[in-house]
Amino acid sequence: MHITKARHWTDSDASPIAESDWAGFVGSDPDLEMTGVADADTPDGTLRYENRALAVWRHHPSGEKVWFDFRRGRVVVKNPDEATIEKMLVVARGLGARVIGDDGETYEAAGQPPTPAKPSFSARLSGWLQGLLPAKPPNIPLPPFAVGARVRDAIGSEGVVLAIDPQQMHGFGGITVRFDDGRELTFAMFAHGLVAVEHGASRE
């Protein structure tokens, strides 16, 4: 689900929430913390996602961490439950935005059904035509380094690339790195944040 100022979340680039407004709101909300990084254990290993505008809500009633991911002018939250939707509505009000589902439905109050989207005829026609087209795999570029290269992540940790698999993570690609401290993490290829480290180069 999406927190956006646009009528539909796909138009968030045209009516964006400013990153400075998002950062300011997170700084004013004691329940949110800007972390910039999230780790998750998967069958393929530990997955790390890095985004400087990524925030975590640590006060979910279950005690679980909920990630609020700011990108391309909107805030995205994956599979929110009622408690999380309620928090999203608070955030949306603070940003002068709205909470919209993937199908364009608008959430106005926690515990109440959303208002269905009312797409225009052209939008319905476009969606129908898109449904006739064969699905294309995501076009994720290969990283500018190879297996065996030394790399550095966004927080300065260094390690060696163990594997690069473009088919991993449902076609979004994975890069597995063994860091000098012994950790092994798999990064999503579309947002890995890794840079190659030249031999003999010193840390800044």
Spatial CA neighbour of 78 closest among 90, 92, 65, 68: 68
Mapped onto helix, strand or coil, the DSSP state of residue 99 is: strand
pLDDT of residue 177: 94
Determine contact, residues 160/147, Cβ cutoff 8 Å.
Answer: no
pLDDT lower than 50: segments of the chain: 201-204
**Chain segment 74-99, per-residue pLDDT in tens:** 999 998 999 999 999 999 999 999 99
| Three-class SS of 24-58 | HHHHHCCCEEECCEEEEEECCEEEEEECCCEEEEC
Determine contact, residues 143/124, Cβ cutoff 8 Å.
Answer: no
